[in-house]
Amino acid sequence: MTAFLYLLPCAGEDLVKLGISRDPLARARSLAPRWFEFFDLERAWLLQADGIAEAQSWETAIKRSLRPHNAPAPLLSVRSAGGHSEWFRGAHEAVLGYMDVMAARGFPLHPAKPWLGEALARGSDSLYGWADALWQSMLATGIEPSLHPLASSLRDACDEQAAFALGVEERMPADVVRWYRGIRD
């Protein structure tokens, strides 16, 4: 089963998250609430391995060389997501260099943003149903939707779609789109 060594640089600072995952989209989502803004996805990369053991060996090799760059996890990262020893300061070029070497050996190296956008697009069927169910439960409480405690989850889901230029209008229920446009205008 395919696995990936991922390089996710934080936006606005020289700090990267390095790790492995079979599902890079789920992993990125688990690391920060608004992961699509938290990470600089234009500088993020995914190195594709044939299996988890191969990806683990890559991760182990590169982490050994990065020990002097080890840094604490950012405060805005989700602590429960784990991976606290996999944050490195000043290591983007070194990790990307390692990934380039592996790509020269024939392993697929993907710019993360388009890959993650495609994975996000594939999940559109469940997104619509989830958003509709959340919207209906919010309305049932009688609380103004924008003031509802779950409103941020719905807004973040819409913003996530917009960040990847995936049409919110086509992927969300019409009531959700009207509400979302109203809070964004």
More confident residue, 124 or 7: 7
More confident residue, 122 or 185: 122
Predicted pLDDT at 107: 98
- Indicate whether 82 pLDDT > 70: no
Percent of the chain with pLDDT over 70: 95
User: What is the mean predicted confidence (pLDDT) over 28-52?
Assistant: 95
- All structural domains of the chain with their residue ranges: 3-118, 124-184
Q: Which residues contact 32 (CB under 8 A, 6 or more apart)?
A: 38, 39, 76, 77, 78
Q: What is the pTM of this model?
A: 0.90
**Residues 53-56: contacts with CB within 8 Å, 24+ apart?**
54/3, 55/3, 55/4, 55/5, 55/20, 56/20
